[in-house]
Amino acid sequence: MTEKEKGELARFIKAALAEDVGDGDHTSLSTIPADKKGIAQLIIKESGTVAGIEEALAVLHEVDDELATEVYLSDGQLVHVGDLVMSVTGRIHSILLAERLLLNIMQRMSGIATATRRIVDTLAGTGTRVLDTRKTTPLLRFLEKKAVRIGGGVNHRFGLYDMILIKDNHVDYAGGIRAAIEQANRYRQTLNKPIDIEIEVRNLTEVSQVLEVGEVERVMLDNFRPEQLREAVALINGRFVTEASGGITGENVREYAGAGVDYISIGALTHSVKSLDMSLKAKIVSCDS
């Protein structure tokens, strides 16, 4: 994790804890002595790919840097029901205060990593890789895209600033494929950083128009059927990186990969994924009387 990412994570954790705690965890304050200590275990309740361990440790450290942790697994590992991710020892108030944020992060990231790994496994041997999109939870993009990487996927652009992606609305507003590409190239010459251009096409006619103009690095083939996609890839013939998007699911992704595209982007990896079930449970240590 870079220093920038660490700073972003720290700001997020502070804001999320403030949202949850308010003027105090009155349930814990009213039922458990403030200085009482205990142990909790993070337990997997559903098979999948675990992610977010580094972030969970950051939550615990922010809440109480005297909490002691023992970690048994690593991000990206396959997990099954009953597996222990970590144990936490220290003030019970601190453990309970961290519990919900820690779980929210890990369940969400693990769900995304699990869904991504499933697609990656389905694509094995095809040469096609899976991309995420900008269809992410506001302000959680950095965590959700990290989870995609943990699951074996590839990040598309992070935001509007790191790629010129000319979509259908841009093409229509600009006055067509040629006008959009030419204007985008004039613009990128004014920037003081390298930046790729990708253009979305809706049919084979637009593919031909892009081939006539050139001056892009990637072509997004949107809502093409597999047979149309195969024809488009043949027309492009390696001149540009190819990406397929629209209507692609885990059930049909291998069929689309069979058309020979370099990438397939799937928004569902982040916008409608199911969180992986896990829980942070108190470990009760029995004492002889």
Which residues are known to be catalytic? 100, 135, 167, 200, 222
**How many Å apart are CA 109 and CA 39, to the nearest integer?**
24
Number of neighbours of residue 167 by Cβ within 10 angstroms: 13
Asked if 205 and 229 touch (Cβ cutoff 8 Å), the reply is no
- Cα–Cα distance, 227 to 170 (Å, whole number): 26
Contacts of residue 273, defined as CB under 8 A and 6 or more positions apart, other chains included, come to 108, 111, 112, 115
Structure tokens at 204: 């084979």
For 23, other C-beta atoms within 10 Å of its C-beta total 5
The helix-helix angle for 3-21 and 53-63 (nearest 10°) equals 60
Residue 40 to residue 254: CA distance in whole angstroms? 42
